[in-house]
Amino acid sequence: MSGPLIIIDPGHGDVDPGCSYEDIYEKDIVLDISLYQLKRFEELGINAVITRYSDIYLNPDKRTQLVVDSKSIYCISNHINAGGGKGCEVIHSIHNDGKLAYKIFNKLIETGLYPRRVYSKESTQYPGQDYYFMHRNTGSCITNIVEYCFIDNQDDRERILKNWKIYAEQVIKAFCEYIDHPYENKTEYIDSVNNLYDCGFITTPSYWIQSDSYEIQYFEELVLNYTGKNNFDESIIYLAQCNIIDSPNYWLDNDTYSVENIQLFIIKLSDNIEYFEFADSVYTLYEYDVINSPYYWIDNASYEIRYFEELIINYTNKSTFEDGIIYLAESNVIDSPEYWLDNDTYSVENVRLLIIKLADNVDQFGEA
């Protein structure tokens, strides 16, 4: 019986966290990516296995032996980069033509990731052999190391945390094209359409699920419903400002869009409904001069206490943060003033939820 076609390798694991930024670890991100890819390969009827299903440690010998023993023809080794750079790169063996590597790379940069490079590297210690052990010690398996982004680059980091599933899917798509295997991704797209329907942004999910093409007017209506704006171009720019989409020029400069790009767009809208509510709230407070820089609140994954306290003081027009919190409680804007009064640090999630509440009440707050 022949072995699997492909083995997926989530890099690092357990005591080997890979690169990190604060409490964000490479080992966790690449495990999510790899498990997703394993599931998608199975859905597409492609025989696939994986080197680790959980947060366990594999030394280099064990990891490469798993690849060799699997008798897989291909290996995708998933990683996140670090060291001050930016963008994605794919590394192939010096003994391989790199065609699959370029296929993966081109699919990734379609999503807006910065195109760093595709390359191979020869070992100086072992002339004529690969530098990376995942190439050097995996036998005849065609191994590609995918470095999705740089964790120490803020833009890259925010992209991977928000869009990792999209990037993982692009690798699936690239592989299917390379081996000439039929590709489709209906499950996630259908779930996204139904989610947007449940949230009231579309009225006829069957149209978006069953159609082979979409009329521009209906797509524009969807975008306007989602953003609450009156103009499509304004909505696209706003979605880019809120970090929901990466390439606004595509939507602004063209009169027609591919079905594939519209479906990816819909998946992004669905994935970011909660985040967009927060970003929209930030811009509402910005319009009311409660905050000075919407980008600070939208672009950052953590906030300095002093800026949060300034926000509360500006919103309530009180002289101290404590007085502002008490006033918000008395005005029924917040329910638990003790949390804000008794702690020196607050979770990002709670700060964002409070900002949404502040924006929801900004019109009538003066009366309260």
Which residue in the block uniquely carries the two structure tokens 């900002």?
355
Residue 83 pLDDT more than 70? yes
Q: Which helix (H) or strand (E) holds 88?
A: strand 88-92
Asked if the 6-179 domain carries CATH number 1.20.120.1760, the reply is no
What does the pLDDT read at residue 260? 86
Residue 7 has pLDDT above 90, yes or no: yes
Domain boundaries, the chain: 6-179, 186-271, 276-360
pLDDT over threshold 80, residue 113: yes
Q: Are 302 and 22 in contact (CB under 8 A)?
A: yes
* pLDDT at position 1 over 60: no
Provide, rounded to the nearest whole percent, the portion of the chain with pLDDT above 70.
Answer: 98
Average of per-residue pLDDT values in the chain: 93
211-220 residues labelled b (16+ CB within 10 A) or e (exposed): eeebeeeebb
Confidence of residue 341 (pLDDT cuts 50, 70, 90): very high
pLDDT digits (tens, 9 = 90+) for 221-230: 999 999 989 9
Could you read off the pLDDT of 232-251 as tens digits, one per residue? 999 999 999 888 888 899 99
> Percentage of the chain with pLDDT > 90?
81
Helix axes 348-360, 273-287, angle to 10 degrees: 60
How far is Cα 49 from Cα 119, in angstroms, rounded to an integer? 26
Mark out the alpha helices in 71-204 (DSSP H runs).
Answer: 99-109, 133-136, 154-179, 186-198
Residue-wise burial string across 13-40, b where 16 or more C-beta atoms lie within 10 A, e elsewhere: beeeebbbbeebbbbbbbbebbbbbbeb
pTM over 0.85: no
